[in-house]
Structure 1
């Protein structure tokens, strides 16, 4: 008989991540999802100094990212969201991108969604299983460095 505890533990971790990610995103970004406007693009760096560009459409989230870049706030400095395999024109260096509708900001998140930009690229085929359950990615060392112009 297979041990049940590792499976139960993995499922509990995934459920906790899903619930905490949703709660953190709602707490950090109270703007309703229907408040969509023109897109803005931002770049974040991680501890390895890799850079990743993401798209925002929610005006409150765009303002929060601009406030981070301009030093107006230091609250919820890191980026969280669900990733999708595939290159986007605004983020051509990587084979994946954030789903813009899921991007938010956080101060603290569970370890199960933490990974560097390069590590995600190297293990993209494993995303959604035990690695980054639910495709939720929250690089702890991420920090927004600038707003970028996309042609």
Structure 2
């Protein structure tokens, strides 16, 4: 129970950081990764933080299985690297997680279908954490 509570508190703290202005990490050249979920739809994310880029590559190579899921804040507009969807994740808010609270969980197409409701009771603060998300490849 203590371990579960500790993880939940850590996730809540991580989500809270999305609403606090923090200085950006030193930006690297952008790297693009394709994620999928239980729907098997594909969604492209852009990473600019060198540590997060390395973590994504480590997940893909199998050198780590820690924090395999993607979390970030939605921007309600398409991005050139992710044109299929009417939204994308803001690069500077993207992170990885092991477990998260249910309020930010939704599949890729569900977010698209209910994008106009995101930011209210659905995905409060526009924070999205697809529990079944996983990276499948890097886009070169």
Structure 1 length-normalised TM: 0.79
RMSD across aligned positions (CA): 2.1
1:113 aligns with 104
1:29 aligns with none
* CA distances 1:32-63 after superposition (whole Å, capped 9, x unpaired): 83221110000001001010000000000000
Between the aligned partners of 2:34 and 2:76, the Cα distance in structure 1 is 18
Query: 1:18-97 to 2 correspondence within 5 Å?
Result: 20-23=11-14, 33-97=24-88
Between the aligned partners of 1:49 and 1:130, the Cα distance in structure 2 is 26
Instruction: Structure 1: state its 5+ residue gaps.
Output: 1-16, 27-31
Structure 2 length-normalised TM: 0.85
Say if 2:136 is the partner of 1:145: yes
Q: Which runs of 4+ in 1 moved over 6 A?
A: none
- Retained in 2: the 8 A contact 1:25–1:105? no
